[in-house]
Structure 1
């Protein structure tokens, strides 16, 4: 399945959430990830995130698609793709 994950967490937890999300999905822009993921890996990702966030303050929204969207439209600055990033 294809997912888009968006998070809004307290600053002190941002780096931990970012690190976990990067293990499973591709960074798109601040607080947004997307990518193909199996249902089993998605459950693991969610479990890892639940260990980090404070559900009384933080939120994570996951949009699930059975198929990858056919077209992606960006208005304004297009963030770099994962192929454009160098470590």
Structure 2
């Protein structure tokens, strides 16, 4: 499945969230990640993030799409992170 994750978090937790998301997804812009994940890896990512965030202050949204077949992307400017494959 294809996943887009966006978050808004406190300054103290932001680096931990960034590091955790980069283990599973491609960093595309500040607080925005995307990539292909299995259902198991998505659940693992959710558990790890749940242990980091303060649910009263932080917010994470994960968009799950069945595949990229019917999606398109329009890009303007230089991307924040490098695209690559996650092993």
TM-score (norm: length of structure 2): 0.87
Uncovered stretches (5+) of structure 2, i.e. residues with no partner: none
1:24 aligns with 2:21: no
Unaligned stretches of 5+ in structure 1?
none
What is the CA–CA distance in structure 2 between the aligned matches of 1:53 and 1:13, rounded to whole Å? Answer: 7
- 1:78 is displaced (CA, Å) by 3.1
**Residues in 2 aligned to 1:70 and 1:14: alpha-carbon distance in whole angstroms:** 29
- Find the aligned partners of 2:4 and 2:78 in 1 and give their Cα distance: 16
* Residue number in structure 1 paired with 2:43: 43
Whether 1:72 aligns to 2:61 is no
Tell me the number of residue pairs that the alignment of Structure 1 and Structure 2 aligns: 82
Matched, 1:82 2:83: yes
> Would you tell me which structure has more helix in proportion to its own residues?
1
Distance 1:71 1:81 in 2: 19
1:19-68 CA distances to partner (integer Å, 9 max, x unpaired)?
Answer: 10000000000000000000110000000000000000000000000011
